[in-house]
């Protein structure tokens, strides 16, 4: 896709009165969209009005971009994301991620709901993602030409952001684990055998999002961090049989802790 689309998207946002600099951008995952309501002086634009932004049809995903003040800092919030499983397009979030370059490339904080494959990380737990395993076979950079596509993923998850997450968790009293996220395409959930495989391969969490956005962020040289809310144990662990309804409901309930954590993270972002 030509990067003219990024310019067009940026222009629409500027025309709506949205301008940088931003302390950070955040993508809100399943059941977490309500965090967008915490913004002050908010300007909200439906994805449908922004060129190259995805339509978002999954329940629990609002599909709007909100600029506003969070803990006194200007932030850009993506309430809703597009998933690979919706249309088979791993680059569905290319423009929402890439457009950040028009606003000074603020750090990007991704959130999601995930299943746990680790017995000590239970539903309701919050986990900072340290690294990932791409089990989908897809990549949002397939089809790009030129050398920018050969993105290093060695230090994909920004070390300074990860330290900020941990410091913020300590400040606000939220228990935060750290783990490796395995990306399955979805939309079907994993089989118990696939969950055992993910565990054997070194994953702590499984999920259907985030990884393409991390790859895109690194493509655009945007610093990125990611935090999961654990909504369930992986299929077959302690008899778990995850469902979308459970994922959405548990994420909504557990989002209080994540909201507190994000406030503490953003409140101290000048240190990052």
Catalog residues that contact ligand HPA under the rule CB under 6 A: 113-115, 184, 189-190, 206-208, 231-232, 234, 242, 247
- Comparing C-alpha atoms, which of 104, 103, 6 is closest to residue 51? 6
CB 186, min distance to ligand HPA, A: 6
The upper half-sphere exposure of residue 264, i.e. CA atoms within 13 Å in the direction of its Cβ, equals 19
Closer residue to ligand HPA in complex, CB, 157/189? 189
Please identify the residue of the shown chain whose CB is closest to the bound ligand HPA. 115
- Comparing C-alpha atoms, which of 1, 4, 18, 27 is closest to residue 207? 27
Closer residue to ligand HPA in complex, CB, 148/241? 241
Q: How far is CA 125 from the centre of its chain?
A: 16
Q: How far is CA 58 from the centre of its chain?
A: 15
For residue 178, list its beta bridge partners.
128
Closer residue to ligand HPA in complex, CB, 54/242? 242
Closer residue to ligand HPA in complex, CB, 84/189? 189
- Comparing C-alpha atoms, which of 138, 148, 168 is closest to residue 222? 148
Closer residue to ligand HPA in complex, CB, 189/220? 189
CB 51, min distance to ligand HPA, A: 29
- Comparing C-alpha atoms, which of 154, 268, 157, 149 is closest to residue 223? 157
CB 251, min distance to ligand HPA, A: 8
For residue 264, list its beta bridge partners.
none
CB 202, min distance to ligand HPA, A: 17
CB 242, min distance to ligand HPA, A: 4
CB 6, min distance to ligand HPA, A: 29
Query: How far, in Å, are 62, 67, 131 from residue 48 at the CA level?
Result: 11, 16, 32
Closer residue to ligand HPA in complex, CB, 24/208? 208
For residue 64, list its beta bridge partners.
46, 79
């Amino acid at each position: 896709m030509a990067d003219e689309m990024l310019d067009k998207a940026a222009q629409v946002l500027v025309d709506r009165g949205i301008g940088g600099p931003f302390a950070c951008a955040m993508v809100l995952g399943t059941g977490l969209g309500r965090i967008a309501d915490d913004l002050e002086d908010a300007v909200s634009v439906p994805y449908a009005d922004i060129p190259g932004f995805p339509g978002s049809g999954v329940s629990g995903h609002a599909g709007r971009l909100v600029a506003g003040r969070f803990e006194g800092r200007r932030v850009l919030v993506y309430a809703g994301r597009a998933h690979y499983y919706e249309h088979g397009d791993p680059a569905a979030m290319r423009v929402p991620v890439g457009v950040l370059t028009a606003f000074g490339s603020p750090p990007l904080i991704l959130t999601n709901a995930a299943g746990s494959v680790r017995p000590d990380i239970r539903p309701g737990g919050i986990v900072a993602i340290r690294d990932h395993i791409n089990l989908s076979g897809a990549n949002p950079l397939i089809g790009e030409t030129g050398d920018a596509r050969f993105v290093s993923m060695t230090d994909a998850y920004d070390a300074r952001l990860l330290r900020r997450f941990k410091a913020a968790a300590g400040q606000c009293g939220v228990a935060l684990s750290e783990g490796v996220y395995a990306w399955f395409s979805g939309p079907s959930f994993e089989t118990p055998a696939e969950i055992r495989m993910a565990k054997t391969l070194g994953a702590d969490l499984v999920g259907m999002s985030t990884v393409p956005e991390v790859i895109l962020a690194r493509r655009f040289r945007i610093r990125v961090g990611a935090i999961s809310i654990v909504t369930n144990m992986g299929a077959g662990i302690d008899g778990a049989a995850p469902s979308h309804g459970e994922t959405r409901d548990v994420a909504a309930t557990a989002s209080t802790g994540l909201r507190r954590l994000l406030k503490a993270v953003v409140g101290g972002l000048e240190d990052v």
